[in-house]
Amino acid sequence: MTAGRMGALRPSFAMALAIGTLGGALFTLIGMPLSWMLGAMTATGLASILHLPVKGWARARPPMSAVIGVMLGSQFGPHTLETVADWWPALVALAAYLLVSAVLCTVYLRRMIRMDGPTAFFSAMPGGLIDMVLLGAERGGDERTIALMHSSRIFLVVLGLPPLMTLVTGADPGARVAAWRPLAEMGLLDVAFFLGAIALGTGLGRLLRMPAPFLIGPMLVSMALHWTGATGFTVPSGVIAVAQIVLGTTVGCRFAGTSSRRILHILLTSAGSTVILLGVALLFALGLQYLIDVPVEGILLAFAPGGLAEMSLVALALNLEVSFVVVSHISRIGMVILGAGLVSRRKTP
């Protein structure tokens, strides 16, 4: 991307960020759960539909992903190793969930929406937006439709999870919000560890060509620091709020440049597949709560087919089994990419 084009993107992203911040502030004022993320996502999504001059900025997400990665790593302590072995029933069930939900969504998109085979198949996969777009394009699918379907799925999952949790468990997601941690609680040594984990993790992630290197690399470095007891820093709530705003803004802006009619059509189509995905996830969560020591809300969040960064931030914001959610979503992405890659070698019907 040329410097001129980068310059042309920045004002539109600045406007999107301003709209997202206002949306987050409004949702916070009225007491909505996940207020900064949902408010930013909703406000910029509406701005995109109304064709306001908003647009995402590719360079905004990687550094924010690194911040999120370090935050996630800080949730892993020595106790995590003791409990990971108890999660194997959930990971086995996760593979079954992916198979069942992918088949049902593919049938829905092929038979009811009349999508072509490759587009339906790669739009139905519950995860790995960039990977599904690339694989789908190689197999002759409509990459724009695949990208919009996955963006819509993430949008609808993040928007629909809090009320679904309330409906199923009767719990108020807003009541589970983690206590506010002021910036002043982070000392200079903590800041040094925080920034060092970002720098080292990003470098390792890119060097080792990890999937989502800007998120997973810093997460692994932060995880190692907290496992070994080298540091015990926690990320201030203000930083988490900024991460939610930027992430919500980038999700909402994925609809920019698309006609209102097509956005509404994709949202309606994606709503059907999202209902299938969340419905199957809920059934698995209700069954698994008797097999593992994780509340049904945490299992539902771990199986919910949103993005890794988005679902991890939801877990952080709602103080829900963060390490379990992160491990589950990393496993989900790996399973989806591997499974879709293997199936795509065969002719898609």
Confidence (pLDDT) at 345: 61
Confidence (pLDDT) at 119: 92
Give yes or no for residue 107 having a pLDDT over 90.
yes
Confidence (pLDDT) at 199: 95
Give yes or no for residue 129 having a pLDDT over 80.
no
Confidence of residue 189 (pLDDT cuts 50, 70, 90): very high
Confidence of residue 1 (pLDDT cuts 50, 70, 90): very low
- Chain segment 220-275, per-residue pLDDT in tens: 999 999 888 888 888 888 888 898 899 889 888 988 888 888 988 999 999 999 99
HEC sequence for 98-119 = HHHHHHHHHHHHHHHCCCCHHH
Q: Which of 119, 120, 104, 117 is nearest to 275 (CA)?
A: 104
Confidence (pLDDT) at 132: 83
Q: How far is CA 65 from CA 117, 215, 223, 308, in A?
A: 33, 5, 15, 10
- Chain segment 287-342, per-residue pLDDT in tens: 999 988 888 888 999 999 887 778 887 887 777 778 888 889 888 888 887 787 77
Confidence (pLDDT) at 46: 92
Confidence (pLDDT) at 158: 86
Computed over every residue of the chain, the mean pLDDT equals: 85
Look up the pTM and report it: 0.78
Average pLDDT for residues 119-141, to the nearest whole number? 82
Give yes or no for residue 348 having a pLDDT over 60.
no
- To which residue do tokens 């983690």 refer? 178
Average pLDDT for residues 91-107, to the nearest whole number? 94
- Chain segment 144-185, per-residue pLDDT in tens: 899 889 889 988 998 888 888 888 777 666 555 666 777 778
Rounded Cα distance between 341 and 328, Å, is 20
Confidence (pLDDT) at 216: 86
47-56, 123-132, 146-155, range with the lowest pLDDT? 123-132
State percent of the chain over pLDDT 70: 89
| Residue 102: both structure tokens together | 């992918």
- Do residues 128 and 336 lie in contact, with contact meaning Cβ atoms separated by under 8 Å? yes
Give yes or no for residue 349 having a pLDDT over 60.
no
39-43, 60-64, 174-178, 305-309, range with the lowest pLDDT? 174-178
- To which residue do tokens 């999937």 refer? 211
Cβ-in-10-Å burial (0-12, 13-18, 19+) of 111 comes to: exposed
